[in-house]
Chain A
Amino acid sequence: MSNPTTQKNDATEQPQPPQKPQVLEEDDEFEDFPVEDWPQEEAEQTASSTANGGSEHLWEESWDDDDAAEDFSKQLQEELKKVEASA
């Protein structure tokens, strides 16, 4: 007896699927360039930047000889005592 009522409720409460306007191009798509071709001077790496040693300064070594080496050494010694105590 309660069935028809429930069904009716279900039908009316069914939310409309959201009609979201979708963006055409995904944001990770390589774009068409506004110009077909360009001289090397307008490229990322120009002739002069190559002469100056190129893009060396753009990449850095992955380690750090930081000034806090002594701090680290001290902390390490303290921690070492704890490790040895717990071992």
Chain B
Amino acid sequence: MCSIATKFKDAYVNGSGPDLAAVLTPIGSPEDPTRLRSFHEFSSAEYISKDLSYALFHGKSLKVPKAEQTAWLDIFAAYWEAVDEILQCEDRRPNASVVTVFNAWKKVANALIRGYSGSACLPAWTLPCLYTVGKYLRTFAINADIEAASRGTAGIGFQEDLSAEVEKNGNLEEAARVINRMFTLCLNDRAPIEESRKWGIYDMTNLLFKTYFKINSVGLTKNLLRAIKAQSADLPPPSAFPKSQIVTYEYYVGVIHFLEENYAEAEEHLTWAWKMCHRDAIKNRELILTYLIPCHLVTTHTLPSKALLAPFPKLEGLFRPLSNCIRKGDLVGFDQAMSAGEDEFVKRRIYLPLERGRDIALRNLFRKVYLAGGFDEPKDGQPPIRRTRVHVNEFAAALRLGSSAERWRVDTDEVECLLSNLIYKGLMKGYIARERGIVVLKKGGSAFPGTGV
């Protein structure tokens, strides 16, 4: 008796989607590392349909409608063939290929899609199968693209660059199309919500998000968000879904806004993901912070504390030098930290918002000039008032202080330009009286809004 058949029956009798999905997982499990091999040995290409029909549905233990039976037999027959290809790869047979595995697995995915959309109409509790099959379709596609690329360069050598570029993600793009059909299958289900495939929507969306990010087509995520929004009245509230799905979803939605430079919205979604994320998921928490920290810098001008970054040495290394320079108003140090981290910042696509930290650093430097100016003579026992008329030269001197080189002669025009830029951005309140060469700052503790002076 094949253990996969037993597990299938158990999962069906118990109505357990996750258990059923485990049966369709194309890798060995910790308890049964050779499960694929024993399933493969259980039959042959010639007899697989008959053998499956007997093993899965013979006897009285399991009552499954005929159409549903046919659907599962198709799915498992395709699964057996895919397992055959997988084992050939594992055994390093000469003709084994990941591209073939991917194509075989695509047949599993298509059989499953037919099972849900056709007359068989597999019940919604089996949905975890859709996610598992979609997830491995994506994995196989990525590996198939890697294999195709390495064989392409080894075999042909000088292929046209253009077609190579198009082909680079060929399998993954094909996988995206199949997963997109799974997405539609979930979103457009009209069954009552208790038995609706709508419960699979976030799993499928997350899978597509990951895929679109990987093939560098983040723009396509917009279609998904639009489709979900259009159906939102018929979808259960996000709080009704497991946190694993919603945290992942919110992370990606946050990053999508982030890449469009909508930092306020990005912050909202990322903050939610951060708060709900499982505490032990270090890697995911680190990813959320990678984008949340630049958001905070842009929207609220706040920096990560030691406590926040303590569990993440990589982030500490990435953001600490920059944060210190911003806080101290050290422009030269800031520029150095930016160029030191440039590769990593560009790779993570956070360079642009981090660069905005330079304005904050400049604000802090000029704020120090203002504080160094001290107070005007107090009048008639009134509390002392800060000197709000500051010479442009004082700001110029502050800029020169940071730069070690004497040669750097600060141009008055340049200083005025920096000052008016800060005033324009609302980081500093006041105006430049050019004819007198002074800056007149706003009185009453609001010359540098939000910083207490």
Contacts and interface: CB of A to CB of B under 8 A. Distances in A.
A20 B363 CA distance: 48
Contacts of B154: 16-17, 19
Interface residues of B, number: 69
B397 A61 contact: no
A43 B372 contact: no
Nearest to A74: B372
B313 to A, nearest CB: 15
Contacts of A29: 210, 213-214
Given A33-B281, A43-B278, A38 B143 contact: no
Given A69-B371, A76-B397, A43 B327 contact: no
A44 B443 CA distance: 42
B360 A43 contact: no
B107 interface: no
B243 interface: yes
A32 interface: yes
B279 A44 contact: yes
Contacts, number: 143
A34 B244 CA distance: 9
Interface residues of A, number: 44
B145 to A, nearest CB: 10
A58 B281 contact: no
Interface stretch (B51-59, B62-70, B257-265, B269-277): B269-277
Interface stretch (B168-176, B180-188, B245-253): B245-253
A14 B224 CA distance: 47
A1 interface: no
B277 A62 contact: no
Contacts of A66: 328
A79 B284 contact: no
Contacts of A80: 393-394, 397
A72 B372 contact: yes
Contacts of A75: 401
A73 B302 contact: no
B40 interface: no
B400 interface: yes
A10 interface: no
Nearest to A49: B275
A16 B371 CA distance: 65
Most A C-beta atoms less than 10 A away, residue of B146, B276, B303, B372 = B372
B398 A76 contact: yes
B13 interface: no
Interface of B: 18, 135, 139, 142-143, 146, 150, 153-154, 206, 210, 213-214, 242-244, 247-248, 251-252, 274-281, 283-285, 287, 290, 296-297, 300-305, 307-308, 326-329, 347-348, 360, 363-364, 367-369, 371-372, 374, 393-394, 396-398, 400-401, 409-410, 412, 451
The 8 lowest CB-CB distance pairs between A and B, nearest first, are A37-B242, A45-B275, A73-B372, A79-B397, A33-B244, A58-B308, A59-B302, A80-B397
Given A45-B275, A63-B327, A64-B329, 18 more contacts: A17-B153, A19-B150, A24-B139, A30-B284, A38-B244, A38-B278, A42-B280, A43-B279, A44-B275, A55-B308, A58-B305, A60-B303, A61-B451, A69-B368, A69-B372, A72-B368, A73-B374, A84-B393
